[in-house]
Amino acid sequence: MAESGRKVRVASGQGFWGDWQEAPKLQVQHGPIDYLMLDYLAEITMSIMQKQRQRDPSAGYARDFVDLVLELAPDLVERGVRILTNAGGVNPEACREALVEGLRDVDTGRRLRIATVHGDGLMERLDDLLAEGHELRNMETGEPLSSIRDRVYSANAYIGAAPLLEALGHEADIVITGRSTDTALTYGALAHEFGWAADDWDRLAAGVVAGHINECGAQAAGGNTLLDWRGVDLVRPGYPIIEASADGTFVVTKHPDLGGRVTWATVTEQLVYEMGDPKEYITPDCVADFSSIRLADLGDDRVRIHGVRGGPRTDRLKVSIAYHAGWKATGTLTYAWPDALDKARRADEVLRGRLDDLGLSFDEIRTEFVGAGACSGRVPEFAAELPEVELRIGVRAADRESVERFTREIAPLILAGPPSVTGFAAGRPRVQEVMAYWPALIDREAVERDLRVEVVEAA
């Protein structure tokens, strides 16, 4: 089929906070793109950022993003690339301030317009919302939020494309949001460029599929692929690029001079990643039907997607809430052949006996034998001959003291435990706070009335 008409290219540059730093630079510098989408947020990221902000009011966003833009700014201007990102985390304003401050020392040739989106954070008005009758019940358990209200760390609504469209309408070069959905960072750009109507469900759904392909970085372009994984150049992978047309059809591709791979297999693998009911992929702007996707491998790292159907958006938005749920720690020791698994099992019994003697109680103690089926839950038939097995034991409790005490019971097994043990070089396990996730729904109006976009120019 002929590919005609205007194309808009949205490149994926980051799939999570901590992704490969070179990827966004390569996306901008190795070929033409119109937009760079940078996704920094996972379910738990917001609570980590909220904790950082509590310690330091000028923190709470992805600092990596600021460093990246300061390095890339001259290229962005020269090549006319705009950025959509949720790097703002729980503090988009501070993210913008750091960027504006840093840009004072960068010669970009012209002023950059930076937009921020505010209002997805519900923490400060949580009690007002509860008082108004928004119960924010847990979608999985049905419990009302009031049961854990005093332990809530962060609460953010997943917001859609509307504020992104507003920001792009103000000719922003860079749009920084908080909890925008990962997919909106891609379809927001497409809806803006092609002027898709807010009720053009099929095109928006196609944009959602494009966003889903982009949101995990290299995962759609050869990262994690199981088909011929040895043959994929992953040293310098090209991350995916969506090359979209006004009718909502698009081609997934990558820059030709970079590694990675885009085939029916790599794209389909990403399509099914984190999939729920494929007919009901719910976003703030539409419900996409992933079972309607039609895919054609054009060769040369080009995969065409068409036929995507969507349905009307729902009247509620998803809210991501994180709350304190106790403490945990995980310790490891390695046991060597012969009978490595039996030695590790014996060490587990000894350790559990000592924890009993101490009278410590935990919400959970979990033992896994790494090398003997920890990932699969299936102990191999040749277990007796395993060259080594790692004992991995973790505990979780409401009180920090019990967990703290547990961390001091690993090292004694080195001398007062079963033989052939090693692997304690890292020292005592670290006690970590457990942050639990509370998914809820809220009437969209309660969130959208407070969404606002700010635009500033960097000097």
Partner 1 sequence: MRVALGRIAIARSGDKGDTANIGVIGLVEQAYPVLVKEVTADRIKRYFNNICHGEVERFELPNLGALNFLLHESLGGGGTVSLMLDAQGKTFAATALGLEIDVPGGVLEACDRVTAGVASGRPVGEEGHRG
Q: Considering only residues 123, 246, 370, 455, which one is a binding residue for partner 1 as defined by CB under 8 A?
A: 370
309-311, strands of its sheet edge to edge: 281-282, 287-289, 309-311
Alpha helix ranges (H) inside 177-318: 184-194, 201-214, 264-271
x/- letters, 48..67, toward partner 1 (CB under 8 A)? --------------------
Cα 409 from Cα 423, distance rounded (Å)? 15
Cα 145 from Cα 133, distance rounded (Å)? 11
Compute the CA torsion angle 296, 259, 234, 48 (nearest 10 deg).
-80
Nearer to partner 1 by Cβ, of 178 and 223: the residue is 223
Q: Considering only residues 378, 381, 426, 449, which one is a binding residue for partner 1 as defined by CB under 8 A?
A: 378
Nearer to partner 1 by Cβ, of 197 and 226: the residue is 226
86: left (phi over 0), alpha (psi -120 to 50) or beta: alpha
Count of chain residues binding partner 1 (CB under 8 A): 60
Determine, following the binding rule CB under 8 A, whether residue 399 of this chain makes contact with partner 1.
no
Determine, following the binding rule CB under 8 A, whether residue 16 of this chain makes contact with partner 1.
no
Candidates 50-58, 200-208, 218-226, 235-243; binding stretch for partner 1 (CB under 8 A):
218-226
Closest separation between CB of residue 368 and partner 1, Å? 5
Residue 218 CA neighbour count, 13 Å, CB half: 22
Nearer to partner 1 by Cβ, of 1 and 416: the residue is 1
Cα 277 from Cα 286, distance rounded (Å)? 15
Q: What are the structure tokens assigned to 426, written together? A: 């890292």
Q: Could you tell me where the beta strands, DSSP code E, fall in 337-431? A: 364-370, 388-397, 421-422
Q: Which residues contact 313 (CB under 8 A, 6 or more apart)?
A: 160, 283, 284, 285, 286, 287
Q: Considering only residues 146, 275, 353, 452, which one is a binding residue for partner 1 as defined by CB under 8 A?
A: 275
Q: Considering only residues 394, 417, 418, 429, which one is a binding residue for partner 1 as defined by CB under 8 A?
A: 394
By C-alpha distance, which of 100, 98, 85, 93 is closest to 177?
A: 85
Q: Quick check: bond before 338 cis, omega within 30?
A: yes
Cα 23 from Cα 64, distance rounded (Å)? 13
Q: What are the structure tokens assigned to 446, written together? A: 């309660």
Closest separation between CB of residue 413 and partner 1, Å? 18
Cα 210 from Cα 206, distance rounded (Å)? 6
Closest separation between CB of residue 390 and partner 1, Å? 9
Helix (H, G, I), strand (E, B) or coil at 361: coil
Q: Which residues contact 34 (CB under 8 A, 6 or more apart)?
A: 8, 9, 10, 80, 81, 82, 189, 193
Closest separation between CB of residue 149 and partner 1, Å? 18
Determine, following the binding rule CB under 8 A, whether residue 311 of this chain makes contact with partner 1.
no
Determine, following the binding rule CB under 8 A, whether residue 432 of this chain makes contact with partner 1.
yes
Contact 92, 59 (CB under 8 A): no
Q: Considering only residues 271, 333, 389, 440, which one is a binding residue for partner 1 as defined by CB under 8 A?
A: 271
x/- letters, 221..260, toward partner 1 (CB under 8 A)? ---xxxxx--x-----------------------------
Determine, following the binding rule CB under 8 A, whether residue 277 of this chain makes contact with partner 1.
yes
Determine, following the binding rule CB under 8 A, whether residue 276 of this chain makes contact with partner 1.
yes
Determine, following the binding rule CB under 8 A, whether residue 170 of this chain makes contact with partner 1.
no
Q: What does the chain come to in residues?
A: 459
Closest separation between CB of residue 27 and partner 1, Å? 23
x/- letters, 315..344, toward partner 1 (CB under 8 A)? ----------x--x-x--------------
Candidates 51-59, 166-174, 241-249, 269-277; binding stretch for partner 1 (CB under 8 A):
269-277
Candidates 160-168, 175-183, 403-411, 434-442; binding stretch for partner 1 (CB under 8 A):
434-442
Q: Considering only residues 32, 144, 259, 278, which one is a binding residue for partner 1 as defined by CB under 8 A?
A: 278
Q: Considering only residues 368, 389, 391, 458, which one is a binding residue for partner 1 as defined by CB under 8 A?
A: 368
By C-alpha distance, which of 374, 369, 375 is closest to 389?
A: 369
Determine, following the binding rule CB under 8 A, whether residue 142 of this chain makes contact with partner 1.
no
Determine, following the binding rule CB under 8 A, whether residue 15 of this chain makes contact with partner 1.
no
Q: Considering only residues 1, 131, 197, 426, which one is a binding residue for partner 1 as defined by CB under 8 A?
A: 1
Q: How far apart are the first and last CA of the chain?
A: 47
Closest separation between CB of residue 181 and partner 1, Å? 14
Determine, following the binding rule CB under 8 A, whether residue 270 of this chain makes contact with partner 1.
yes
Q: What are the structure tokens assigned to 127, written together? A: 């009690």
Element at 138 (helix H, strand E): none
Closest separation between CB of residue 314 and partner 1, Å? 17
Helix (H, G, I), strand (E, B) or coil at 429: coil
Chain contacts with partner 1 (rule: CB under 8 A): 1, 43-44, 140, 224-228, 231, 263-265, 268-279, 290-299, 303-304, 307, 325, 328, 330, 364, 366, 368, 370, 374-378, 392, 394-396, 432, 434-437, 439
